[in-house]
Amino acid sequence: MRAAVPPHRSLLVRLLATSMLIAVCAVAATAWLTVQLTTRAVTVEQSRTLASDTDVYNAIIAYAAGHDSWNGAAELVRRQADLTGTRIALTTPDRALIAASSPDAADAVAASDVPTATVDPLSLDRGIVRDTGGRIHPDVVGPYRLTDAERDQLRRLADVEVVCLGRQNLPAEVVTLPSGRPTIRAAGGGPPPITRCALMGRLDPVGTERGPLAELAGLTIRCNSGSVKDAGYTITPEFTPRYDGDPPTADEDNRVRDCIEEARRAQLRPYVAPRALLFVTGLAAPTPAVTLSTANTLRIAGTALVILLLTLAATIVAGRRLVRPLRALTDAARQPADRQEPVPITTRDEIGYLAAAFNDLSARRQALEQQRTAMVNDIAHELRTPLTNIRTWLETARDGAVEVDQEVLDLLVEESVLLHHVVDDLRDIAALEAGSLRVHPEPTYVRDLLEQLLDAHRGAGTVTLTLSTTDDPEVTVDPVRLRQIVGNLVSNAVRHTSPGGTVTVLLSMRPGRMVIAVTDTGPGIAAADLPKVFDRFWRADGSRSRTTGGSGLGLPIARQLARAHGGDLTATSTPGHGATFTVILPTT
């Protein structure tokens, strides 16, 4: 019975949740983008409105700075309204109309609680006016306007000062103020540094300025009320204090400058237009075609709902198509191993690749199961023969059919040794495959080891054993395991070589590795059997008899031992011309 998948783990539910999340994010992103674009448009419009307000304010404040009344301001108001596309009205502080660009502009004054700006050239609105360097408009000259002769005189002094500063690598320029008085500005802006060049009389007042400056000094002293106690000062024609003695503190200097500015306002008030209120409003705009009314809000919500429903339907269809092959894979995986069938591959996407991988895994699982069954049968066969012999002789001896003499004991010992040998081979195979069998390398003279091994085999038959080498290397290997590897190869070669044949062991050194090749003159190995020689319990004759073979575990163990050294064991053969088994071990 198929187990139910929890909803929060279902692929369909997760796909649905993901799609819904994407849809919601898309709708939210669209709404955010719309808000951002609208905000940007409103900001741009506000910037344009602010720029228009600034232009209108600067034009009217300049008029107020150059006139002592608002007579004639109506024409300026109408001209500015035409240039900026706005409605302009100018009133007294108590909202009495002074001038208006149109009748509806005058009507807008009553509907507006806050004016755009207060027009006073002696107290500029720093929130809207361009930077002029002070609160008094620079065009307010009043009684300080110089005659042409006075201008020429001061211009010559200013030119001399600029030349003097240039000689000191202090570039400067002459700037003429609205009153006609020239002043010096550094090339980078601001006043030039104080040097001896400034002591040339340019800052001394001329005839036109003496009377107004004296009046200004009196107004300043009354304002200051003796705050600068120990330092006398005079006011320069640029309306800055010039101290006679030690300079005062920063707070005292700021107090003096504030008093000078306050005194200038009182002195210049008769020369400027009275304070007024400025109202600047936009032209009446047509009603937008799309508004956020109830109907439009419902229309937007309905559109979003349709998008969500379409996303939901598409996700369900796509999810079912994705889940169907996955369920087929799940059903196939739950089948018993002996009844598993390949899953049909219907797509070429990731699920198709998964189905192909599942089929491959299933095939390998069946192959491993077959190998396991064959291995169990092989082990049972290998153990059955010696156990049967031992049991038979023991039962015969128990029944008194034979006498237990030395020959019977030797036979039983031989079968026990064979049984022990099979068990040891199986243990070595298991340890090697589990990675728990360790080698113990040590410096070893390989030539001596091979000669001793061949001497041990020379008395076992009529096969000629030879060692072919020109090297006498000392290599770091496990001598016991190396003797086991080569000994197994030599034993197999002797077993499969007819009397009078030859088994040759060739030792050679190559860059970074040592090669030991064991070659016999036996019948060789068929091409179809060559890939199987390292399989466990495999024998070429297929008879499972030990008259021509051992347990069938020697070659697999030898290969695993070679790989434990970091090398390998390979086999080559030509049928009718013997076989060659080659051990390759690293020397570094």
Question: Per-residue pLDDT for 293 more than 60?
Answer: no
Question: Comparing 176-190, 251-265, 554-568, which segment has the lowest mean pLDDT?
Answer: 176-190
Amino acid in position 494: V
d(CA 511, CA 516): 14
Let me know: does 279 contact 117? Beta carbons within 8 Å.
no
What confidence score (pLDDT) does residue 443 get? 92
Which of the four CATH numbers 3.20.130.10, 3.50.50.60, 3.30.565.10, 3.30.930.10 does domain 438-586 have? 3.30.565.10
Q: What is the pLDDT of residue 382?
A: 61
How large is the average pLDDT for residues 488-509? 89
CB 506 within 8 A of CB 525: no
pLDDT at residue 88 in the model: 86
Select the more confidently predicted residue: 314 or 231.
314
The continuous run of DSSP H or E covering 243 comes out as strand 241-243
Of 82-91, 159-168, 362-371, 512-521, which gets the smallest average pLDDT? 362-371
Cα separation, 389 vs 574, whole angstroms: 38
* Residue 503 confidence (pLDDT) above 80: yes
Percent of the chain with pLDDT over 70: 75
Range with the lowest mean pLDDT among 125-134, 353-362, 493-502, 563-572? 125-134
Q: What integer best gives the mean pLDDT of the chain?
A: 77
Q: Look up the pTM and report it.
A: 0.44
Q: Where are the alpha helices (DSSP H) in 136-182?
A: 148-167
Give the number of other CB atoms < 10 A from CB of residue 40.
Answer: 10
pLDDT at 229: 46
φ and ψ at residue 77, rounded to 5 degrees = -65, -45
Which residues on neighbouring strands pair with residue 477, listed in sequence order? 442
Residue that has been written with the tokens 């030690």 in this structure: 246
385, two tokens: 């023969």
Residue 115's pLDDT is 83
Percent over 90 (pLDDT), the chain: 8
List the end-to-end C-alpha distance of the chain, in Å, as a whole number: 59
222: left (phi over 0), alpha (psi -120 to 50) or beta: alpha
Lookup: tokens for 556: 């697999």
Give CA–CA dist 404/408, Å, rounded. 6
Rounded Cα gap, residues 69 and 271, in angstroms: 9
Parallel, antiparallel or unpaired: strands 474-477 and 464-468 = unpaired
Q: Which residue has the higher pLDDT, 291 or 484?
A: 484
Task: Give the pLDDT confidence score for residue 1 in this predicted structure.
Answer: 42
Whole-angstrom distance, CA of residue 371 vs CA of residue 535: 10
Q: Is the confidence at residue 14, as pLDDT, over 60?
A: yes
Instruction: Convert the pLDDT of each residue in 110-148 to its tens digit.
Output: 666 678 888 888 888 766 665 545 688 888 888 988 888
| C-alpha distances in Å from residue 303, one per residue of 25, 35, 307, 314, 562 | 15, 17, 6, 17, 73
Residue appearing with tokens 């307010």: 140
The pLDDT of residue 514: 93
Q: Which residues pair with 576 in a beta bridge?
A: none
The pLDDT-based confidence of 544 (bands split at 50, 70, 90) is: very low
pLDDT at 103 over 70: yes
Which residues in 51-68 are b (16+ Cβ under 10 Å) and which e? ebbbbbbbbbbebbbbee
Residue boundaries of the structural domains of the chain: 1-126+277-334, 142-276, 350-433, 438-586
Half-sphere exposure of 378 (CA within 13 A, CB side): 21
Residue 547 — very low, low, confident or very high, per pLDDT cuts 50/70/90?
Answer: very low
Q: Which residue has the higher pLDDT, 338 or 151?
A: 151
- What pLDDT shows up at residue 304? 73
451: nearest Cα among 423, 433, 472: 472
Architecture of domain 350-433: Orthogonal Bundle (1.10)
Please write the tens of the pLDDT for every residue from 524-540. 888 888 888 887 666 65
Give the integer Cα–Cα distance in Å for 54 and 86: 12
Shortest CA distance to 489 belongs to which of 529, 432, 533? 533
Residues 557, 545: Cα–Cα separation, whole Å: 20
Which has the minimum average pLDDT: 172-176, 391-395, 560-564? 391-395
Burial environment of residue 228 by CB neighbours within 10 A (0 to 12, 13 to 18, 19 or more): buried
The string over 467-477, giving b where at least 16 C-beta atoms fall within 10 Å of a residue's C-beta and e elsewhere, is eebeeeeebeb
State the Cα angle at 146 between 143 and 148, rounded to 5°: 150
- Tokens standing for residue 50: 């602010």
CA distance 376 to 420: 17
Report which residue type is found at 497.
T
- The pLDDT value given to residue 520: 92
pLDDT of residue 222: 76
The residue ranking higher by pLDDT, 112 or 90, is 90
For residues 17-22, average pLDDT: 74
- Output the pLDDT for position 261: 86
51 three-state secondary structure: helix
pLDDT of residue 297: 67
pLDDT tier for residue 436 given thresholds of 50, 70 and 90:
low
